[in-house]
Chains A and B, each alone.
Chain A
Amino acid sequence: MSFLPERDRDYLKEKGYEYQEYTEENQRGIILKNWSLPSDKFTLDKIDLLVLIPVGYPDNRLDMFYNFPEVLLKQEQQKARAADQPLQFNSTQWQRWSRHLAGDAWRPGIDGIHTFIQAIQQALMEARV
């Protein structure tokens, strides 16, 4: 049974995202497969992207995102700022991006995966050491 709201399932389907829902003991998330990173910026072009879905989403906000495999900034050959903590999920070690939406930026119930994806893309574009 899906834990992702109908609105989000419709959105992801419509946009053609390849994703799956995973439930663990105390966390749940969706993994978007073959996510394209900004070109020529990282040591890989495609990764799997994990977004943890908290209880109460979308009234409750999304926070941070994770990728597998690990990537470094191509030029500096280092991980980007605050993109270094590991997370165990689905028997895999993920690279955490500590990116948070500013203060009141999350509009309860209104925002969701569809708006968060843009925030992720922005964070990846702006990533630096």
Chain B
Amino acid sequence: MNLDTLTITEEHYEQLKQATFRSDGKEGAAFLLCGRSYIENEIWTEKREERFLSREVYVIPDDEIVSSSTADVTFRHETYLRVLKIAEEKNYAVALVHSHPKGHLYFSKTDDEGEAGLFQLAVNRNGSKRPQLSIIIERDENLLARVWHENRTRPISLIRIIGKRITLHYEGKHTTLSKEEFARQALAFGPALNNDLQRLKVAVIGCGGTGSPTAMLLARLGIGHILLIDDDFVEKTNLNRLHGSSVSDVKNKKPKVKVVENLIHAMELGTIVKTIKGSVESKECQEALKSVDLIFGCTDDHLGRMILNRIAYCYLIPVIDMGLAMKVQENVSPPVLQTLDGRVTYLFPNEVCLLCRKVIDPKKAYAETLRKNNPQEYAKQVKEEYVEGEGNPSPSVVTFTTDLASMAVTELIDRLQGFRGEHSGAAERRRKYITCEERRTGATARPECPVCSNKKYYGRGDMIPFLDISL
């Protein structure tokens, strides 16, 4: 199957619909400038994938439209050349977007000829080897897209429209029969959801207390492809909450990713599982993370969170990040719990990021980084009290870690299917386990935040260095 895919933010999709569905019923057109994510060796197929990420909508002004009818639209070539220039300066891919009447979700002969001619302009102008895209929005809100390269077309196999909701467009979404194993959830959510879940590629970062139940739930739910990342081996004190782990795993020094992988395979649901025993910041993980549609952050590693935080905005890959805060009152015995809160945060363009929410503690991140990369210097700085040493381990209990994982995976279901209706779309929820309340947490982005405030990185895709962060 072809591996070119396209992600459009809901914001851009609205702009495109406005530009292409004119009030007089005639066809309109616009350009979508896209950042690019190129994967040499996609982790699932080991083939190359090119992903196009919406970055900017360029509406063709009325006075530049040469003619428009209910069947097609033509515009001046100068318009296209101007857009090309912008694209070249910033290495964007250019997509031509236009609408088709209801029931016409296919590329017509007029489209084929018109586009071939138009894109040839780009090649003639500067021998451009850059791919060009063409997107149709049908009045029923279905989409179709293809890539033009060297005078030939390739279909785009998956279009993701993401914002408050995650909507996937691909062949067979409404026609493929969903598997009997998942019949009971089709009764709740409809069969198309099962097809979406099968299609999805999801990464679980951290396979511990929250990561192992997250992965387990995703597999049972029918997610077709799961990537597990964790650098640790099973230890005795993990056994009270690490799903799938046993005492033998401790003796055999089993990596956590292997424990969770085995747990999933034992279900025999056909889930494709990939594992990386390593750190999120490694090159191997960088490439792998570009190959997924969605990420669950189940790690309390601050540097790991910094990376996931940026990926969401740069690569338009939603991150559902979770954290459990369990604190006891100081110097009290037997212990008295003072805080017992679970947090689920949804990260994506136009939502407030983890840095602005202060979920990432920069002092801890700095200490972690130093400890990992330069243990000598770390020991020295802890001694000199410049840097905080590692504190005591936190309390952790399986009922809460599992409940939190469940809350996070349910958030995915709602984003895909919308069952919560008007209650959907909270960027952050906190569940208070002592008082049994659940709240939506508001937050304001720092006005100068380069990640979430000024849209500079939204859909930017590949950069040097990766995510514009030093790794």
- A10 CB to closest chain B CB (Å) equals 11
Query: Chain B residues near A57 (CB, 8 Å)?
Result: 469-470
**Are the C-beta atoms of B468 and A6 separated by less than 8 Å?**
yes
CA distance A121 to B446 in the complex (A): 27
- Tell me whether B355 is interfacial, beta carbon within 8 Å: yes
Q: What are the interface flags for B299-314 relative to A under an 8 Å C-beta threshold, 1 for contact and 0 otherwise? A: 0000100100110000
Q: What are the interface flags for A55-96 relative to B under an 8 Å C-beta threshold, 1 for contact and 0 otherwise? A: 111111101000000000000000000000000000000000
Quick one: which of B366, B464, B465 contacts A54, CB cutoff 8 A? B366
**Are the C-beta atoms of A110 and B446 separated by less than 8 Å?**
yes
Q: B47-55, B60-68, B174-182, B448-456: which one contacts chain A?
A: B448-456
- Please list the 9 inter-chain residue pairs (A to B) with the smallest Cβ-Cβ separation, ordered nearest first: A57-B470, A5-B468, A59-B306, A108-B355, A110-B448, A26-B374, A108-B362, A55-B369, A109-B450
- Tell me whether B272 is interfacial, beta carbon within 8 Å: no
- Tell me whether B333 is interfacial, beta carbon within 8 Å: no
A-B contacts at CB below 8 angstroms, number: 88
**Are the C-beta atoms of B463 and A6 separated by less than 8 Å?**
yes
- B64 CB to closest chain A CB (Å) equals 33
CA distance A53 to B471 in the complex (A): 10
- Tell me whether A46 is interfacial, beta carbon within 8 Å: no
Q: Can you offer 16 A-B residue contacts whose CB atoms are under 8 A?
A: A5-B470, A26-B374, A54-B373, A55-B281, A55-B373, A55-B471, A56-B281, A56-B369, A56-B469, A58-B450, A58-B469, A59-B360, A109-B450, A110-B446, A110-B448, A110-B449
- Tell me whether B370 is interfacial, beta carbon within 8 Å: yes
CA distance A121 to B449 in the complex (A): 25
Quick one: which of B372, B448, B451, B465 contacts A2, CB cutoff 8 A? B465
CA distance A9 to B463 in the complex (A): 13
- B185 CB to closest chain A CB (Å) equals 39
- Tell me whether A7 is interfacial, beta carbon within 8 Å: yes
Given A3-B470, A60-B366, output 19 extra A-B contacts at Cβ < 8 Å: A2-B464, A5-B470, A7-B468, A26-B373, A26-B374, A27-B373, A27-B377, A55-B369, A56-B281, A56-B303, A56-B366, A56-B369, A59-B309, A60-B365, A61-B366, A63-B386, A98-B384, A106-B362, A108-B355
- Tell me whether A37 is interfacial, beta carbon within 8 Å: no
Q: A59-B360, A100-B386 are contacts. A54–B370 as well, Cβ < 8 Å?
A: yes
Within B428-456, the residues touching A (CB, 8 Å) are 446, 448-451
CA distance A27 to B446 in the complex (A): 30
CA distance A37 to B420 in the complex (A): 62
Main secondary structure of the interface of A (DSSP, over half): loop
CA distance A53 to B374 in the complex (A): 12
**Are the C-beta atoms of B470 and A56 separated by less than 8 Å?**
yes
- A23 CB to closest chain B CB (Å) equals 11
Query: Chain A residues near B470 (CB, 8 Å)?
Result: 3-5, 28, 53-58, 60
Q: What are the interface flags for B360-403 relative to A under an 8 Å C-beta threshold, 1 for contact and 0 otherwise? A: 10100110011011100100000010100000000000000000
CA distance A37 to B392 in the complex (A): 44
Query: Chain B residues near A2 (CB, 8 Å)?
Result: 464-465
CA distance A2 to B470 in the complex (A): 9
Of A28, A60, A107, A109, chain B has the most CB atoms within 10 Å of the CB of: A109
Looking at chain A, what size class is its interface with the partner chain?
A: 20 to 34
Query: Chain B residues near A109 (CB, 8 Å)?
Result: 355, 449-451
Query: Chain A residues near B465 (CB, 8 Å)?
Result: 1-5
Of B303, B362, B386, B470, chain A has the most CB atoms within 10 Å of the CB of: B470
Query: Chain B residues near A5 (CB, 8 Å)?
Result: 465, 468-470
CA distance A4 to B468 in the complex (A): 8
- B366 CB to closest chain A CB (Å) equals 5
**Are the C-beta atoms of A60 and B471 separated by less than 8 Å?**
no
**Are the C-beta atoms of B448 and A56 separated by less than 8 Å?**
no
**Are the C-beta atoms of B464 and A6 separated by less than 8 Å?**
yes
Query: Chain A residues near B449 (CB, 8 Å)?
Result: 109-110
CA distance A2 to B373 in the complex (A): 19
- A102 CB to closest chain B CB (Å) equals 12
Within B250-282, the residues touching A (CB, 8 Å) are 281
Nearest B residue to A6, CB-CB: B468
**Are the C-beta atoms of A59 and B469 separated by less than 8 Å?**
yes
**Are the C-beta atoms of B471 and A56 separated by less than 8 Å?**
yes
CA distance A79 to B410 in the complex (A): 61
- B287 CB to closest chain A CB (Å) equals 14
- A97 CB to closest chain B CB (Å) equals 13
- A53 CB to closest chain B CB (Å) equals 5
Query: Chain A residues near B362 (CB, 8 Å)?
Result: 59-61, 106, 108
Query: Chain A residues near B450 (CB, 8 Å)?
Result: 7, 58, 109-110
Q: What are the interface flags for A1-23 relative to B under an 8 Å C-beta threshold, 1 for contact and 0 otherwise? A: 11111110000000000000000
- B297 CB to closest chain A CB (Å) equals 15
CA distance A5 to B314 in the complex (A): 14
- A26 CB to closest chain B CB (Å) equals 5
CA distance A68 to B281 in the complex (A): 31
CA distance A14 to B311 in the complex (A): 28
Query: Chain B residues near A55 (CB, 8 Å)?
Result: 281, 303, 369, 372-373, 470-471
Query: Chain B residues near A6 (CB, 8 Å)?
Result: 463-464, 468
- A65 CB to closest chain B CB (Å) equals 14
CA distance A1 to B286 in the complex (A): 15
